[in-house]
Homo-oligomer: A and B are copies of this chain.
Amino acid sequence: MIKVGIIGATGYAGNEIVRLLLEHKEAEIVWYGSRSYINKKYADIYQNFFKLVDAKCMDDNMEFLAEEADVIFTATPQGLCASLINEEILSKTKIIDLSADFRLKDVATYEKWYGIAHKAPQFIKEAVYGLCEINREQVKGARLVANPGCYPTCSTLSIYPLLKEGLIDPATIIIDAKSGTSGAGRGAKVDNLFCEVNENIKAYGVASHRHTPEIEEQLGYACGQKVLLNFTPHLIPMNRGILITAYASLTKKVSYEDVKAAYDKYYEKEAFVRVLEKDVCPQTKWVEGSNFVDVNFKIDERTGRVIMMGAMDNLVKGAAGQAVQNMNLMFGLKETEGLMKVPMCP
């Protein structure tokens, strides 16, 4: 039984980690960390766990946790994980960091986009970017996994095969992203009130969203060159789900079958990436509550572009689910353990 400590258990991602691990056969949660609710019963914060979780919220004592837990999930704001870890901790336990602290390999880029100094740059090189479908082998041996951002997960998986196969021009990539509101977190802000979000749609972080360099770095690995792209997220009046609509110019005339073959090459054996049938557009409701990413594409012969689409649940594959998938890999478990949830609809 893997002992799991969670730091940041009362955010939406933390809450989702708990939901998944309660149904996971090989893991048990030993620590519900939440600075905001110390000593409060966890099930009083999230009543869905009434009679299912009896524990109280604890502080974020990582030294203690390093002794007690086999793995620590940090579902906390940027900067916290980097400020807490050190060699001693990493020598005793594994860490899956859901924040952005170890996602970018270039410190300067991190500090520029996030506006804070990096507290533990010495671990950046070691950290493995936990996009399981692409970095599976490295994840298996990692002590420190940087769990990918929600938008980068869906964007990268939607675009990766075509870029890797040289079918699209990296200089032409435009990603128009749409996310449910749980991605904005559980902080009490006017902008996220029901009446502000409901019956509304807006873009935000236009040309400045922090997930941009993360996507660019990952896609850069795919094509072997520096990638600059446009990424525009939008806030959608729904709880869960991310939809990516990405555009790029094709490098040559290709058929439906050519492009389909590229997707299949990378995803045919993947448990969690579903390449949909011809002309079926991904919809977030078909993946809700699950760890699936549904991808598909459409060639536009008139403009010479391909439209790439991806849908996933931002709290599962975009956060907690992928974190558990990484844990499974790191501990040599079946990769799908605890994650074969059937999407729930309506």
Q: Mark A residues whose CB is within 8 Å of B.
A: 12, 15, 18-19, 22-23, 46-52, 174, 176, 178, 180-182, 186, 188-190, 192-204, 206-207, 228-230, 232, 234, 236-241, 243, 245, 247, 274, 276-277, 280-290, 294, 298-300, 302-303, 305, 307, 309, 311, 340-346
Contacts and interface: CB of A to CB of B under 8 A. Distances in A.
B48 A302 contact: no
A241 B280 CA distance: 25
A280 B50 CA distance: 11
Given A199-B241, A201-B238, A201-B284, 15 more contacts: A23-B340, A50-B276, A174-B247, A174-B305, A181-B193, A186-B193, A193-B193, A194-B194, A194-B196, A194-B239, A202-B282, A202-B283, A206-B281, A207-B302, A344-B344
12 contacts: A12-B346, A46-B345, A48-B287, A48-B342, A50-B276, A193-B194, A194-B194, A200-B283, A203-B309, A206-B298, A207-B299, A228-B303
Query: How often does this chain occur in the complex, in copies?
Result: 4
A230 B194 contact: no
Contact of A298 (B197, B207, B240, B241): B207
- Candidate in A197, A239, A307 with the most chain B CB atoms within 10 angstroms: A239
Contacts of A305: 174, 230
Contact of A47 (B194, B203, B228, B283): B283
Contacts of A340: 23
Given A195-B186, A200-B238, A237-B198, A280 B47 contact: yes
